[in-house]
Chain A
Amino acid sequence: MFLPAEITASVPSTLRQRIQMGFDVAQVSSVAHSLAEFGDRYLRRLFTPAEIAYACQGVGLQAERLAARFAAKEAVMKALQLSEAGVDWRDIEVVKHPDGSCGVALHGEAARCAQRAGAEQIVLSLSHDGDCAGAVAVAVLASPRPEIPLSTSHENR
């Protein structure tokens, strides 16, 4: 939302927040292939112990859950614009809530970057269907940045 400077003082603080969104998809078969190719090293380089434990519980769906989590990490990186920050994937952790929904816990450099950006909340949604997994992350940031052009968008593969 763009608010001209002269009216921002008169609107509720919630309307002065801005959001940044990130979206990413991951191919389930590609994740399965990486697991077969790199094994434990792939798992431990990208995912936290809790993420691995969740993904590996039960029968099947391991690659689907990991693919959705990888997409979620990338979506958060896009939402917080971390692609050049030097962030370990494990510093963006997908947390599974008891009600089945997912949230995100940030650690290390990811947490520091989010704090510097004024992130107040990050909302995450992830899904998988067949060979495709995807995630959307929305970061709610406190401080306005009116110099952002209104019509820009960019594509990251």
Chain B
Amino acid sequence: MKTAEELDSQIRTILRNHGRLNQDALQLDASDDLYRHGMTSHASVNVMLALESAFDVEFPDHMLKRSVFGSIGSIRRALSELATA
């Protein structure tokens, strides 16, 4: 089981590569709104696909919500939920 810090680190790397953020993902707070930092809806799809590859999961329909991909913290919570499902 990965720690929250380890998960956040992986999420930040993916956001850095795919989120098209206007700020370095490593500098963001876990609660910062990613959409306010430049992530578009299409970029969030790329983030989702990259997360699925990295964590070997698939986001089910009920998680395909704007808020799930809205912050590092919300992504971490979703991944944790998928890991324990």
A interface list, Cβ under 8 A from B: 24, 26-27, 30-31, 34, 37-38, 41-42, 45-46, 70, 74, 83-89, 108-109, 156-157
In contact, B38 and A157 (Cβ under 8 angstroms): yes
Q: Does B67 interact with chain A (Cβ within 8 Å)?
A: yes
**Which positions in B face A, CB cutoff 8 Å?**
20, 35, 38-43, 45-46, 49, 61-67
Main SS class of interface, A: helix
Q: When the two chains form their complex, are residues B41 and A86 in contact, meaning their CB atoms are under 8 A apart?
A: no
A157 engages B64 (CB within 8 Å): no
Residues of chain A with a CB closer than 8 A to B40's CB:
26, 30, 157
What are 10 A-B interface contacts by the 8 Å CB criterion?
A: A31-B42, A34-B46, A46-B45, A74-B41, A84-B66, A86-B65, A87-B61, A156-B35, A156-B66, A157-B39
CA distance A61 to B62 in the complex (A): 32
Q: Judging by beta carbons under 8 Å apart, are A83 and B61 in contact?
A: no
A83 contacts B66, CB within 8 Å?
Answer: yes
Known: A34-B42, A157-B41. 8 other contacts (CB 8 A): A26-B40, A26-B42, A27-B42, A30-B40, A37-B49, A74-B41, A86-B64, A86-B65
State how many angstroms separate the Cβ of A92 from the closest Cβ of chain B. 11
| Max chain A Cβ within 10 angstroms of own Cβ: one of B20, B39, B42, B67 | B42
Chain A residues lying within 8 Å of B62, measured Cβ to Cβ, are: 86
A24 B41 Cβ-Cβ under 8 A: yes
Whole-angstrom distance between the Cβ of B41 and the nearest chain A Cβ: 5
